[in-house]
Amino acid sequence: MVEAGILETIPRTIMTKETELRKELEKLVRTILVEEDYTVEVTDEAMRILSVLKELKLKKSSKVVDNTVIPEEFRCPISTKIMSDPVVLATGQISLLLCTYGFFFGFCFKIAEALDLHDFVLMEFLQTYDRPFIQRLLNEGHRTCPKTQQVISHTILTPNHLVQEMISKWCKERGIELPKPLVDGDVHADADRGYLKSLLEKMSSSLSDQKEAAKELRLLTKRMPSFRAFFSDTSDAIPQLLNPLSPGRASAHPDLQENLITTIFNLSIHENNKQLLAENPHAIPLLVESVRSGTTETRSNAAAALFSLSTLDSNKLIIGKSGALKPLIDLLEEGHPLAMKDAASAIFNLCLVLENKCRAVREGAVRVILKKIMDSILVDELLTTLAILASQPKAVEEMGMLGAVPCLLGIMRESSSERNKENCSAILHTICQNDHTKWLLVMEEEKVNATLSILAEHGTSRAKRKAGGILEMLKKGASITFR
């Protein structure tokens, strides 16, 4: 559309003449389309008027400040760029019409160009795409147009020579170089970016669009590393993705929440996304909220995302300060098989930072972890976390009160895992240093099974050192020689 201020610079006589010509052309076109016995003179007159209208349009275009804006109908709905090889997805019948009645469609396009009806002609008859981008989507099994949302029922690609001619003519008139066909690598990258953009735009659309796009994003970010990488290249991609998950109401639509939280987890695998996600003001709070509520899979994947993000040291403190440890500990305690391991892994990673160790102890981690170990659940993983927490005096005190000593001695005696024996000996060494009242239990075990002596002789270097240290404490304290 030409702006009102610009129109004022165009002589009114030209505008009046154009209006009259358009009306006359409409009558001629109606005659051509309706009457079967129209004369050749009618067609010739229509073509003459089209030529005059074209000249008038060019005069107006010269007054437009920016005449290089690409018409929307020349853009591929997938890449949003000007098409280099426009094609249509058509049935054999429509393809035959294009070939048989090429003049008629060409004539309609010329009328549309003169009357500014490109959108009507292009969208009413066929949806046009740039070949490499639609071919890429078809090859990946997609059957929905990202622009119209219509199901693509046919995969026959037919060149749209008419649109190609219009693009060529438009570029030539403006001195613009025709777009060159993209090489395969560029096509894939641009097609992916264009498709990602269309999916993210749906995050601000209707609920049904959000759910459809969230499901697709989950699949793409799982299957294609390139999609995970694109998020680190686009500053507003993560905010767009999180848009439907309102803080405090993330679980209002469980299926949408599950797909988006899983997408965040998939994105967190990419190194360049870890800091971006952690620094986004909504990402980690939404993950924490999702650990508390949602489907079991949502809670599990939210915990997995926190674990993945916490592999970056700078993120450990951010996540700890967000209040993530309590819901993670609760999730571990609840005992969902699908979620426990993810929760345990996240707790372990976070507790590698001193501040988070203190938080975990305050939030009841020792009780929950020790109970799981006693129930023979995730023993390997949780013993490692318990060994880390043993550096906290309050944690050691709790372990003693909750019956950790008999449990640790039993694992040292019966387990075939050298790592578990090593962790048990390290934890027990700390307990014995801080609580002499537990020595009697250890001495009784040693008299019956010689558990520490065996470990001091045959364990790993660390286990030997810790077991030997406990024996030395017992010897000095009770003046006993063990056999």
Contact of 5 with 87, CB cutoff 8 Å? no
Of the candidates 446, 448, 447, 449, the one whose C-alpha atom is nearest the C-alpha of residue 468 is 446
pLDDT at position 191 is: 63
Contact of 32 with 38, CB cutoff 8 Å? yes
Contact of 131 with 85, CB cutoff 8 Å? yes
pLDDT at position 27 is: 83
Which amino acid makes up residue 211?
Answer: K
For 193-363, CATH number out of 1.25.10.10, 3.40.50.12780, 3.90.78.10, 1.10.260.40 equals: 1.25.10.10
Write the DSSP symbol of residue 68.
Answer: -
Residue 57: Cβ-neighbour burial (10 angstroms; 0-12, 13-18, 19+): middle
Give the integer Cα–Cα distance in Å for 46 and 216: 49
What crossing angle do the helices spanning 461-478 and 439-449 adopt, rounded to 10°?
110
pLDDT at position 159 is: 82
Q: Give Cβ neighbours of residue 327 (< 8 Å, ≥ 6 apart).
A: 288, 291, 292
SS (H, E, C) 255-292: HHHHHHHHHHHHHHCCHHHHHHHHHCCCHHHHHHHHHH
Contact of 258 with 297, CB cutoff 8 Å? yes
Of the candidates 427, 344, 356, the one whose C-alpha atom is nearest the C-alpha of residue 382 is 344
Using the structure block, give the residue that is written with the tokens 């201020």: 5
Residue 447 structure tokens: 């008299």
Give the integer Cα–Cα distance in Å for 277 and 242: 10
To which CATH superfamily is domain 72-182 assigned? Zinc/RING finger domain, C3HC4 (zinc finger) (3.30.40.10)
Give the integer Cα–Cα distance in Å for 441 and 242: 54
pLDDT at position 148 is: 66
Q: What are the residue ranges spanned by the domains of the chain?
A: 4-61, 72-182, 193-363
Dihedral sign computed on CA atoms, order 304, 237, 193, 88: positive
Rounded average pLDDT per 10-residue block, the chain, 483 residues: 35 62 82 77 82 68 50 83 81 39 44 44 58 78 69 72 86 80 57 82 93 93 86 88 86 92 95 93 95 93 96 94 96 92 96 96 97 95 96 95 95 94 95 91 92 93 94 76 44
336-373 pLDDT tens trace: 888 999 999 999 999 999 999 999 999 999 999 999 99
pLDDT at position 347 is: 97
Of the candidates 468, 366, 457, the one whose C-alpha atom is nearest the C-alpha of residue 425 is 468
H or E element: which one contains 103?
A: helix 102-115
pLDDT at position 244 is: 92
